[in-house]
Amino acid sequence: MAVFKMPSLGADMEAGKLVEWLVKPGDTVKHGDIVAVVETQKGAIEIEVFEDGVVEKLVAELGQDLPVGAPLAVIKAPGEASAETSEAAPPVAPQSPTEPVEPEVWMEPPSAPPPATPSGIAASPAAKARAAELGVALESLTGSGPGGAIVLADVETTRPAATPSPAEDRGAYIAEMRKAIAAAMARSKREIPHYYVTHTVDLSAASDWLSAANANRPPEERILMGALLMKAMALAAREEKAVNGHFGEDGFTPSPAVHLGLAIALRGGGLVAPAILDADKKSLQDLMEAMRDLTMRARAGRLKSSEMSMATLTFSALGESGVEAMAGIIVPPQVAIVTAGAPGPQALVRDGKVVAAQAVTLTLAADHRVSDGRLGSKFLTAIDAKLQTPEEL
């Protein structure tokens, strides 16, 4: 038997609310199947299972706030016998005639209905007081207490729930996300010794190649400069392994795969950085499609747990407009992040002459426990070299 637990969906996550089960006991599941949906500060995340088997038992209930590592379900391996269920449950002790069955103070034993109101309706003292406070007629309620008596819970159900406006609801959601991001980034800067390396890349060859490659493509199929930057970065990370992996209790573990996190700005505010798995192995067209799909699902709040937890390196860009350069903060447990300023004409030196050329400034923030400025500079110049031969990406 394997216990399926609440996964960590980012450095800023401590708990999540289980909002939907997509499987039931007896269902067969395989690696990668989506089995549940969990709500976090960054939206609804689809939780995947990472082993084959049969769902033996659902442990967590809908609506529960569960910390990372809390058990969600029990999954038995294919062919494994079910857990022993023949043990008899311990007998339930008979309830004392004076033991309350509601969290209220009763004036009479609950085995008998509580005193009737002047109108002849049985109700607990707490229920009568609350009904008077809310102006609710007891005659209009159906009791769920002993003998059909009205209890406090029956009165509270008549109270209209306050419904926040969409703007208020969205504002609260963004505020919680900002709070979580701030906590994670403060911890990152406090615990990780960052160092920074900056390099300006001539994009003339990449821009010319893109113009030719997109000439006969419809707008929805065109490749953007961001895809070239990410592919060059993924290939360079495959070579410079000290920037690609996770730092944990046992130190740095390089990753054999390049799962490239993509920082995505959400509408109305907030930021997520889900991963494009095996980014180094994707063609430019596939990478571009993955970027579009990830952005769309991130803004719709339907990301997968693997996308939120498996990134080995992160890329963040300002897009076509913005400032010339920016520096990022490492997303734990990763050890590096590359940020790109807005591409545009910059003054570059070619053959001893200053020329205006399309360029972008890249900044690497990396963990000094794992690498140093020399290796960081090699990584950025490797990205530069790959962008000079875009046809090979």
pLDDT reported for residue 99: 38
Q: What is the pLDDT of residue 52?
A: 92
pLDDT over threshold 50, residue 338:
yes
Provide the pLDDT for residue 252.
98
pLDDT for 127 equals: 73
Residue 233: CB atoms within 10 Å: 29
3-state secondary structure of 221: helix
pLDDT at 225: 95
Per residue, the 3-state secondary structure of 297-318, as one string, reads HHHHCEEEHHHHHCCCEEEEEC
Report whether pLDDT(243) > 70: yes
Evaluate whether 323 touches 192 at the Cβ level (below 8 Å): no
What pLDDT, on the 0 to 100 scale, is given for residue 201?
97
Q: What is the pLDDT of residue 147?
A: 65
Share of the chain above pLDDT 70, in %: 84
More confident residue, 132 or 24: 24
Query: Tens digits of per-residue pLDDT, 207-229?
Result: 999 999 999 999 989 999 999 99
Mean pLDDT of the chain: 85
Checking phi first, is residue 10 left (phi over 0); if not, alpha (psi -120 to 50) or beta?
left
- Alpha-carbon torsion 6, 12, 18, 23, what sign? negative
Q: What is the per-residue pLDDT for 269? A: 75
Domain ranges of the chain: 2-76, 125-156, 192-392
* Residue 262 confidence class, pLDDT cut points 50, 70, 90: very high
pLDDT band at 96 (very low <50, low <70, confident <90, very high): very low
- Look at residue 332 and tell me whether its pLDDT is greater than 70: yes
Condensed to tens digits (0 to 9), the pLDDT of residues 173-205 reads: 677 777 878 888 999 999 999 999 999 999 999
Mean pLDDT value of segment 84-106: 41
Q: Rounded to an integer, what distance in angstroms lies between the CA atom of residue 56 and that of residue 77?
A: 10
Contacts of residue 194, defined as CB under 8 A and 6 or more positions apart, other chains included, come to 329, 330, 365, 366, 367, 368
pLDDT at 90 over 50: no
Please compute the mean of the pLDDT values over residues 383-391 and round it to a whole number.
97
Q: What per-residue confidence (pLDDT) applies to 146?
A: 58
Assigned architecture for domain 192-392: 2-Layer Sandwich (3.30)
Reported confidence tier of residue 112, pLDDT bands at 50, 70, 90: very low
Q: Of 98-107, 136-145, 276-285, 295-304, which range is least confident?
A: 98-107
Interatomic CA distance for residues 26 and 309, integer angstroms: 28
Q: Does residue 118 carry a pLDDT above 60?
A: no
Q: Does pLDDT of 366 surpass 60?
A: yes
| Torsion 62-64-66-71 (CA) sign | negative
Give the CATH number of domain 2-76.
Answer: 2.40.50.100
What percent helix, strand, coil does the chain show, rounded to 5?
A: 30, 25, 40
CB 228 within 8 A of CB 211: no
Confidence of residue 311 (pLDDT cuts 50, 70, 90): very high
Q: Which residue has the higher pLDDT, 22 or 168?
A: 22
Nearest to 176 by CA among 328, 332, 65, 336: 65
Query: Residues 142, 145, 147, 148: what is their CA dihedral angle, to the nearest 10 degrees?
Result: 0
pLDDT band at 312; cut points 50, 70, 90: very high
Location of structure tokens 């000079």: 388
Average pLDDT over residues 237-256: 96
pLDDT band for position 134 (cuts 50, 70, 90): confident
- The pLDDT of residue 166: 60
What pLDDT is stored for residue 390 in this prediction? 97
Q: What is the mean pLDDT of residues 146-156?
A: 71
Cis before 114 (ω within 30): no
pLDDT, position 106:
36
